[in-house]
């Protein structure tokens, strides 16, 4: 059963912390001091493309990325040309059929992730990685992205075959050597794990809730960065799960 927006807010308390204040600060052109080591999504960054990539063959392949809250990860890749579907879910942990409430405890080992089905003749795995590191996730923050803290919000890549693992490892090595981020990359490459789709109310969340404070502050800027940094890949109409 799809939850109402009120129920969604009750089930995602961390994501609502300071969101209203952030929106007001942004509208006023001011800065907001955050408690402790809290931080929020930054701007996209132009980085080199990977030198190693898969062949641009016709057909379909699957990629799985985790980069903090899956609302924004899904929202970005739904706007990438060549992506056939992008589904929010959970992977990398123990136990079957994880729920949002279970994963949110940070005790299951799962990460909020997005499973991407794509056409390599239109967008390759290496290019998806290029987009991931450029506009989706900060690869230098360990076990948190923006306002979301915990292992469930880690930056991670889950290769679905040996070729993807090789490409991802090579690219992280290249980016580290180039020192484009100014800090060490902590994004993990984890063995293929079973992917569990998230609840329906999490699917297409960015598209369905563009004025939701968390989306305004943390995720719409990522879509804007995609359009700016990868104009040839950006498509206006996203591919949706709940059709």
Q: Assess if residue 54 is contained within a domain.
A: yes
Sheet containing 111-118: order of strands: 188-189, 155-157, 61-67, 111-118, 83-91, 196-197
Distance CA 220, CA 215 (A): 6
Q: How large is the average pLDDT for residues 1-28?
A: 41
Structural domain boundaries enclosing 72: 5-229
Q: Assess if residue 175 is contained within a domain.
A: yes
Question: What pLDDT score was predicted for residue 28?
Answer: 38
Does residue 12 register a pLDDT over 50? Answer: no
Does residue 219 register a pLDDT over 60? Answer: yes
Give catalytic residues, as residue numbers. Answer: 69
pLDDT above 90 coverage of the chain, percent:
79
Distance CA 150, CA 83 (A): 28
Q: Assess if residue 33 is contained within a domain.
A: yes
Inter-axis angle of helices 70-77 and 220-229, to 10 degrees? 30
State the pLDDT confidence band at 29, using cuts at 50, 70 and 90. Answer: very low
Q: Assess if residue 238 is contained within a domain.
A: no
The SS3 assignment for 94 reads coil
Q: For residue range 147-198, list pLDDT tens digits in order.
A: 999 999 999 999 999 999 999 999 999 999 999 999 999 999 998 789 999 9
Q: For residue range 95-144, list pLDDT tens digits in order.
A: 889 999 999 999 999 999 999 999 999 999 999 999 999 999 999 999 99
Could you tell me which residues come within 8 angstroms of residue 208 by beta carbon, excluding any fewer than 6 positions away? none
Could you tell me which residues come within 8 angstroms of residue 112 by beta carbon, excluding any fewer than 6 positions away? 66, 68, 69, 70, 73, 88, 89, 90, 103, 152, 153, 198
Distance CA 176, CA 195 (A): 28
Q: For residue range 159-173, list pLDDT tens digits in order.
A: 999 999 999 999 999
Distance CA 99, CA 16 (A): 20
Does residue 82 register a pLDDT over 90? Answer: yes
Q: Assess if residue 236 is contained within a domain.
A: no
State the pLDDT confidence band at 37, using cuts at 50, 70 and 90. Answer: very low
Per the structure, how many domains does the chain have? 1
Averaged pLDDT score across all residues of the chain: 87
Question: Strand 155-157 relative to strand 188-189: parallel, antiparallel, unpaired?
Answer: parallel
Question: What pLDDT score was predicted for residue 191?
Answer: 87
Question: What pLDDT score was predicted for residue 32?
Answer: 35
Three-state secondary structure readout of 138-201: CCCCCCEECCEECHHHCEEECCCCHHHHHHHHHHHHHHHHHCCCCCCCCCEECCCCCCEECCHH
Question: What pLDDT score was predicted for residue 17?
Answer: 39
CATH number at residue 28: 3.30.1060.10
């Amino acid at each position: 059963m799809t939850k109402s927006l009120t129920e969604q807010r009750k089930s995602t308390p961390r994501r609502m912390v300071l969101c209203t204040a952030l929106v007001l600060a942004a509208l006023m052109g001011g800065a907001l001091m955050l408690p402790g080591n809290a931080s929020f999504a930054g701007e996209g960054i132009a980085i080199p493309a990977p030198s190693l990539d898969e062949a641009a063959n016709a057909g379909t392949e699957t990629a799985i990325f985790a980069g903090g809250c899956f609302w924004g990860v899904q929202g970005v890749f739904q706007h990438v040309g060549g992506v056939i579907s992008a589904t929010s879910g959970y992977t990398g942990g123990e136990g079957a059929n994880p729920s949002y409430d279970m994963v949110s405890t940070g005790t299951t080992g799962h990460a909020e992730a997005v499973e991407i089905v794509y056409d390599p003749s239109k967008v390759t795995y290496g290019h998806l990685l290029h987009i991931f590191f450029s506009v989706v996730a900060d690869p230098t923050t360990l076990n948190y992205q923006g306002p979301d803290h915990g292992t469930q919000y880690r930056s991670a890549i889950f290769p679905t075959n040996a070729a993807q693992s090789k490409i991802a490892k090579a690219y992280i090595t290249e980016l580290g050597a180039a020192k484009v981020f100014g800090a060490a990359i902590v994004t993990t490459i984890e063995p293929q794990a079973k992917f569990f789709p998230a609840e329906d109310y999490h699917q297409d969340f960015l598209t369905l809730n563009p004025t939701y404070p968390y989306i305004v502050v943390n995720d719409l800027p990522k879509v804007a960065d995609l359009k700016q940094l990868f104009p040839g890949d950006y498509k206006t109409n996203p591919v949706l799960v709940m059709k």
